[in-house]
Structure 1
Amino acid sequence: MVEADARMIDLVFDLGGEALSAGYPFALWAELVRHVPQLADDTAAGVLPLRTAESGDAMLLPKRAKLVLRLPQALAGHAVALSGRQLDVGDGVLRLGTGKLREIQPHVTLQAQLVAGADDEIEFMKVVAAELAAMGIEGNLICGMRRSLSDGQRTIHGYGLVIHDLRPEESLRLQCTGLGADRHLGCGIFIPYKVISGLDW
């Protein structure tokens, strides 16, 4: 049996709220750090992108939305203090339920919504392949759409990415380590992806 990296774990909160701006990750991270300053001291800390639906310039939250922090276990004890807090994220408000720990599990196919990197797709994929090789990961790659994330002051560019045919130990390594920069903004964080045909992302 392959076990997850004992240093990393997901901390999951039920989430109440209605809508956020498209560039919400910047304001969300600032608000999380305001409540838990220790988060700013560890570059391994990440925030999984929220599942939202676009409506004009707003991102609508579903009723069963979750906020998931991917953290070193040493930070989880601090971050659980977010339970029951209200987060003021730009013009939106998020209400957090009780934080629950969830172990990271291996999956043969993983997806990242946005991996930060070069504007040119060929150069982007070349860098990604080199980083994966350095990590000892040999999965097959599917590059998604070019994406960007901006709060009006800073803009991050990159692509969506699916990696499939992963061995269990590779899957755990990738989920625990991530790929590229800005994991605190949801970039380079991998989650299970069950279908790899007909991608439109």
Structure 2
Amino acid sequence: MLRRRAMKESPQDTSPLPRGEEEKKEYTRMLPQLRQIAQHALRRTQRWKTPPGYETAYWREECESIASMAVWNAFLSYKPNANVSFPVYAFLRAVQAIRQEHRLAWRWSVSTTPLRCDGDTGEPIEPVDPEWQKPFQQCEDRCDLQTLLRSLSDQERQLILWHYQEELTEREIAQRLNLSKTAVHKRLTRVRTKLEKALAEKARSG
């Protein structure tokens, strides 16, 4: 039987509220962008497998609350002189928050789900579907995406923003830069190679 997990208070209820008239005005001005970033994070994570014991609709509501709080907290903590744009910073914070809750939900489900036994060997059958781990294999907690982005130039970060945050195609980026699609493809390939190299070095250093 599917069940709803007994959870902490909804993130929407615990999220810090804007204080002071100036902060409230800024929040109102930024609200459409904050919602857009949260929705983008949800689209990016919606293919992750729903944890066992959760109703899919309930899990999506949970992720929506988590993303909303993470984006708002990103708004409060973002520094204008950061080497990454606010949309990218907030998006990564939202994805990271959903990822953390996703992992915790799986662990909770495993700890409360009776193990089935193999009919032939009598050994317990591990209920965890390995598919859920795939989104995390490239960048676990040891790999801070924000740090990796700082290793890029302004132009390289802009390419990453357009391609992965705004989901522009190579052709659309080429039109913005007045370049050929081939030139944009080569640039993106170089940036991805640079990030992969930095990721590998970070993994080796532990």
TM-score bracket for this pair, using the shorter chain length: under 0.3
Bigger RCO (CA 8 Å, 6+ sep)? 1
TM-score by length of 2: 0.25
Query: Which one has a larger percent helix, Structure 1 or Structure 2?
Result: 2
TM-score by length of 1: 0.26
